Amino acid sequence: MKQLHYIIIVLIAVANSCADSFLDTKELTRQVDENYYSTPEECETALVGCYAALQLIWSDGIALPNAATVKGDLAFGGTGSADDRDYKKIDEHDVNIAPSFVDMFNPNWVNYYRGIFRCNKLIERIDQPDWGDNLATRNRILAEAKFLRAFFYFDMVRMFENIPLLLRESRENLPQADPDDVYRAITEDLLYAVEHARSTTHGAMPSTDHGRVTSWAAKSLLARVYLYYTGYYNQPDLVDLVNGDQVLAYLEDVIENSGHGLVEDFFSLWPAAANYKAVRDGGTLVDANYAGETNQEVVFAIKYTYTSNYDGDVDGNHWMVMNGLRLQTYSRLGYASGWGASTVVPEFYQNWDPNDDRREASVMAIQEEGIAYNYIDDVREYTGYFTKKYVPFTDENGVPMTEVYEAANHMIGQFQDYFSIRFSDVLLMAAELGSSNALEYVNMVRRRAGVDEISAVTREQIFEERKYEFAFEGLRYWDLLRYDHTLQFAASKLNYSGEVLDGGVPYTKTINGNNILTTRGLFQIPQTQITRSNNVLRQNPGWE
């Protein structure tokens, strides 16, 4: 899969640029537009452009994993004490925190629609070549493009709900679609991917294909869509196309036949956590046991490399630098510097079972880990705890790993993949949907974490398990929203009052969870997009 990051073609270069339409897409030059997509090989290369767009969705602005983490109940906004208040505005769900910040998610909007544009173009042109006896290849390429389009739209509809729905090449100034129509398109795309994407088992997958869409990934993402839609909208099925029994059958198929499974050591999933454990146990960073980016637990990931620059060639993970230890490298444990976002709610860490391996693997605890941290006065909402799963890291000499590899840029060249769907999520989703093996699936996750098994399982326990298993991965917020369609549960969890440090000065941090009842948990639609649409687009309630 890494070879995809090095293919540079005119198609992708042109598609990267943007025009002034409200979707910020740009049509290909006439020569490319007329001549491309004429062979199976060109369609395959165009698909690479769709994957490249997946890399780019969080290359600018506030990445969704960070935004979702901050909007949830496990972390505050953090960042610098003198920084803009955008993360604080997101954290507190309050437009009045920074009323002039009306375009926080404009880069997201632009980049997601860029990806949708690329997918639409390939999907519409898929039958231009003569496929001959290669219809299976045609269907597989189409399945991957449809999965990626569904992935883009699912993020967009969860974030903004009220979005234009484009399923063909178009630069029309479309109004916002009925969310059900968006979910119907997502579901239809994923059902196609279920049938036509690769069904090779994980162990038999060629190394060059890791990171590509599989039928297993499509089944898992469809389950995530089903659970969110039916929970958030209080519906019995997914837009009359898929019911719970079908989704559970898909998940059981992934569990039994995909070749995916849990890695033995939770620490090994995350480079910084693996480094920490090696040193904690008396070794050095070179002894770290990192499972790698193609380990069996990864059902689907966004792939990154260190070959990024500021000329638009972006393959790296930009956003995890935001979560790093603010302004300071701590080489003994392999922590590289960052910007100090997503400071962890102290009560979450303090009430977490210390015997649970996931606590130390997920949270960077300043005092408990013996870190001599010198920049407390520079941090907003300092709690003594930072996240650990997606943070930059160093080698044993304190050199950021991005610089170890061809002197890549530390700010934009992070190469840790984002594990979008892990096998543990498949297990817990199947348990939530009422699998006859629900108790065993939950206990598989708990045994790996080093905590006691349970003797019975409820929906409440499954959601609690998900909180610890997926902390700071960008999933918790969506779980809060779908748990109870009235959002009273989410509001109660988001309510907060406690002491933190702001620029080294104690103050009482408060969050009014009822704000989410006004916004319904939705994000602010970028004002730039509303303006470019000539006010065809309308702002979401609570963000006016």
Q: Are 75 and 494 in contact (CB under 8 A)?
A: no
Residue where a domain stops, chosen among 375, 391, 420: 420
Contacts of 446 (CB under 8 A, 6+ apart): 452, 453, 454, 465
311 part of a folded domain: yes
In whole angstroms, give the CA distance from residue 384 to residue 145.
43
Whether residue 407 is found in the same domain as residue 444: no
In whole angstroms, give the CA distance from residue 284 to residue 281.
9
Question: What per-residue confidence (pLDDT) applies to 12?
Answer: 37
379 part of a folded domain: yes
499 part of a folded domain: yes
Question: What per-residue confidence (pLDDT) applies to 23?
Answer: 38
6 part of a folded domain: no
pTM above 0.85, yes or no: yes
> Residue 382 in 3-state DSSP?
strand
Phi-psi region of 214 (alpha: psi -120 to 50; beta: other; left: phi over 0): beta
Q: Are 291 and 269 in contact (CB under 8 A)?
A: yes
Question: What per-residue confidence (pLDDT) applies to 35?
Answer: 76
Tokens, residue 532: 């470019």
Whether residue 282 is found in the same domain as residue 413: yes
Whether residue 416 is found in the same domain as residue 427: no
Domain total of the chain: 2
Tens of each residue's pLDDT in the chain, 544 residues = 444 433 333 333 334 433 333 333 434 434 456 679 999 999 999 999 999 999 999 988 999 999 999 999 999 999 999 999 999 999 999 999 999 999 999 999 999 999 999 999 999 999 999 999 999 999 999 999 999 999 999 999 999 999 999 999 888 999 999 999 999 999 999 999 999 999 999 999 999 999 999 999 999 999 999 999 999 999 999 999 999 999 999 999 999 999 999 999 999 999 999 999 999 999 999 999 999 999 999 999 999 988 777 776 667 888 999 999 999 999 999 999 999 999 999 999 999 999 999 999 999 999 999 999 999 999 999 999 999 999 999 999 999 888 887 667 888 889 999 999 999 999 999 999 999 999 999 999 999 999 999 999 999 999 999 999 999 999 999 999 999 999 999 999 999 999 999 999 999 999 999 999 999 999 999 999 999 999 999 999 999 9
In whole angstroms, give the CA distance from residue 327 to residue 522.
32
Cβ atoms within 10 A of the Cβ of 395, count? 16
Tokens, residue 341: 């976002």
Whether residue 341 is found in the same domain as residue 451: no
Q: Which helix (H) or strand (E) holds 422?
A: strand 418-422
In whole angstroms, give the CA distance from residue 18 to residue 112.
12
Q: Buried b vs exposed e over 509-544: b needs ≥16 C-beta within 10 Å?
A: bebbbebbbbbebbbbbbbebbebbeeebebbebbe
Whether residue 411 is found in the same domain as residue 440: no
Residue 459's CATH number:
1.25.40
Whether residue 397 is found in the same domain as residue 333: yes
In whole angstroms, give the CA distance from residue 115 to residue 419.
19
496 part of a folded domain: yes
User: Helix 215-232 to helix 135-160 angle, to the nearest 10 degrees?
Assistant: 30
Question: What per-residue confidence (pLDDT) applies to 16?
Answer: 40
Where do we find the tokens 């440090």? 501
Whether residue 414 is found in the same domain as residue 425: no
Question: What per-residue confidence (pLDDT) applies to 32?
Answer: 56
Whether residue 368 is found in the same domain as residue 489: no
Whether residue 425 is found in the same domain as residue 403: no
Residue where a domain stops, chosen among 369, 399, 420: 420
Whether residue 488 is found in the same domain as residue 369: no
In whole angstroms, give the CA distance from residue 29 to residue 1.
28
Whether residue 367 is found in the same domain as residue 473: no
92 part of a folded domain: no
In whole angstroms, give the CA distance from residue 259 to residue 204.
8
352 part of a folded domain: yes
Residue where a domain stops, chosen among 393, 420, 447: 420
143 part of a folded domain: no
Whether residue 281 is found in the same domain as residue 416: yes
Q: Which domain holds residue 503?
A: 421-532
